[in-house]
Structures are given as structure tokens and as C-alpha cells.
């Protein structure tokens, strides 16, 4: 049955109200996974371009772990992970840098251009955007790093000029050494430095779920305290932990809200920004009572 005119009108009014509210605001979007497989991209390139055309300032931060693993396997090199982080020796780092800053980054830039946008590909090494240090003591992970400082000027210049920055999660270490960064953490650090209003993490699930007697329940909104409790209780586990921790780090740094949504939901990015209900899971601090 066709959508009734008054329902369509209500939806359009709601969307336009949000478009006006978000004009000029910065949104950092993190996308990981196998970005060279078109089904996993969904409508992301088109959504980013539409956001930009609506006056929003989107920044895309990406990883590319599966593509790195595939290339290492073709080279006959075994991949080892510790707590979800890839152990990265010098030879592996060469592959990581080639895949992230090269093939994956430029593929995303190309897709955004095809969708009618103007994108510029960067890595965290460009203009020392993401200064990094070796990962915290514990198990030696080689050239795995964590963000020590963000110098966002190059991204701000591109945004002001109307370009869409696409940032590969590589870090610039002492003496120019490259570091492999967790893309979730990199996106959170960049969102804080840019004083972004939102961090949106696109993943292969629709959000954070909790088991109930009635079945799995999608948690549409959480406070930071509730999110930490879910980690402690084991409800949030494995690969979801760094995503939730990145959201919490962004909130602690001043970002107003952080979202975990399904990357394959058609136009999910637009639904999250421009509707009352949104999709996925939003984490934000509880507003003080009047």
C-alpha cells in the first residue's frame, strides 16, 4: 500500500527539521571491515555525499583488517591476534600501510567521487594528523600503537574547503615510524579533536543487544555508566568492546553522543541523524533535570 500523504508529509517535516539543525556540524563516521566488498558498504558513499550536500561536515575514518589478512595470507605470512589486536612486525607493517593508506583508502575515495562527492584520502601520517606511541606495556604487539596526540588542522582545512576527508587508521610515531592503530580508537580521538557533535561507528551488527526471557533486545539508548556495566557483565564482549570503549572515550572528550549502528542497513546513517527514533544504539550522558 502506498504511503499516505499525511504520513509522508510528517516524515519529510521531521527530516527537514533535523537537516536544518545539523547544518554546519561535524560528524565522524568510522567504518571497518572488508571495505572492498561492495555489499558491506551498503549506501555509505551515497549517504556521506548527501550529508555533505545538506551542509553537514562528515569525516570518514576506516580500517581494513580483513583485506590486510587476505594479503598477508597470499604472501604466506601467518596473522596472530592478541586481545583482538594484530601483532605487527616490520614486514606486516609494510602490508598494513600499503593496504590502508593505498588500496582501501583510495577505493573509498573513488566510491565517494562516483556518488557525486569530493573526497580526499589521508592517513594519520599526513601532516602528523595522528601522532602515536607504542601500545601500552603488556604483551609486545610490535608496531601496534595508540593515539598520543591529534593535530586536526589538515582535516579542518579540507572540511572548510568543502572536501570530505577519508582517514586511514595509521599513526605517525617518533622519527616517522608508522604504527598500526585501532580504527575505533583513532575515530574517537579525531572526533574529540575536531569537537564533533557525533561519533557514529558502523559495524556488522545493528547495535548492542541484551538477552531477555522474550529473546534478544536491541538497546536503543544507554548512558556511559550502563555501557560500562554491560562490559563488566560480559553482555558486551569480544569485538564490540573496543567499539563501546571508543564511544565512551569520545563522550569523555566532549563529543555529545556516540552511536553504534549496522553498516549494511540502507541509508542507516541518514536515519540515525535525521529521524527521532534513529536505529542502533546511542550512548550519551543523561541530560540534567530542569
Q: Could you write out the DSSP letters of every residue in 230-255?
A: HHHTTSS-TTHHHHHHHHHHHHHTT-
DSSP letter (8 states) at residue 40: H
Greatest Cα pair distance in the chain: 64
Q: Can you tell me the distance from the alpha carbon of 55 to that of 78, in angstroms, rounded to the nearest whole number?
A: 45
Does the CA dihedral 94-100-103-105 come out positive or negative?
negative
Expressed in percent and rounded to 5, the helix, strand and coil fractions of the chain are: 40, 25, 35
Active site residue 65: yes
Select which of 173, 243, 263, 280 is catalytic. 243
Select which of 32, 33, 121, 142 is catalytic. 33
Active site residue 33: yes
Select which of 30, 125, 134, 198 is catalytic. 30
Select which of 63, 65, 171, 173 is catalytic. 65
CB crowding 136-150: b at 16 or more within 10 Å, else e? eeeeebbbbbbbbeb
Active site residue 278: no
Select which of 32, 47, 126, 184 is catalytic. 184
Catalytic residues: 30, 33, 65, 184, 243
Amino acid at each position: 500500500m502506498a504511503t499516505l500523504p499525511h504520513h509522508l508529509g510528517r516524515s519529510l517535516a521531521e527530516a527537514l527539521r533535523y537537516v536544518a539543525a545539523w547544518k554546519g556540524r561535524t560528524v565522524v563516521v568510522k567504518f571497518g571491515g572488508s571495505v572492498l566488498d561492495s555489499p558491506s558498504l551498503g549506501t555509505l558513499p551515497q549517504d556521506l555525499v548527501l550529508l555533505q550536500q545538506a551542509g553537514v561536515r562528515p569525516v570518514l575514518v576506516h580500517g581494513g583488517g580483513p583485506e590486510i589478512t587476505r594479503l598477508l595470507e597470499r604472501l604466506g605470512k601467518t596473522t596472530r591476534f592478541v586481545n583482538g589486536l594484530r601483532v605487527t612486525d616490520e614486514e606486516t607493517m609494510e602490508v598494513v600501510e600499503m593496504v590502508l593508506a593505498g588500496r582501501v583508502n583510495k577505493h573509498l575515495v573513488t566510491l565517494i567521487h562516483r556518488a557525486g562527492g569530493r573526497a580526499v584520502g589521508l592517513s594519520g601520517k599526513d601532516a602528523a594528523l595522528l601522532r602515536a606511541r607504542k601500545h601500552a606495556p603488556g604483551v609486545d604487539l610490535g608496531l601496534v600503537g595508540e593515539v598520543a596526540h591529534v593535530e586536526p588542522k589538515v582535516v579542518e582545512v579540507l572540511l572548510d574547503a568543502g572536501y570530505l576527508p577519508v582517514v586511514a587508521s595509521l599513526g605517525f610515531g617518533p622519527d616517522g615510524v608508522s604504527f598500526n592503530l585501532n580504527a575505533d580508537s583513532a575515530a574517537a580521538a579525531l572526533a574529540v579533536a575536531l569537537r564533533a557533535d557525533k561519533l557514529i561507528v558502523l559495524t556488522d551488527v545493528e547495535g548492542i543487544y541484551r538477552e531477555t526471557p522474550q529473546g534478544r533486545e536491541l538497546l536503543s539508548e544507554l548512558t556511559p555508566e550502563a555501557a560500562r556495566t554491560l562490559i563488566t557483565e560480559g553482555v558486551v564482549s569480544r569485538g564490540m568492546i573496543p567499539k563501546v570503549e571508543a564511544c565512551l572515550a569520545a563522550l569523555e572528550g566532549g563529543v555529545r553522543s556516540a552511536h553504534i549502528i549496522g553498516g549494511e542497513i540502507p541509508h542507516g546513517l541518514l536515519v540515525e541523524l535525521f529521524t527521532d527514533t534513529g536505529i542502533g544504539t546511542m550512548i550519551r550522558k543523561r541530560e540534567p533535570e530542569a
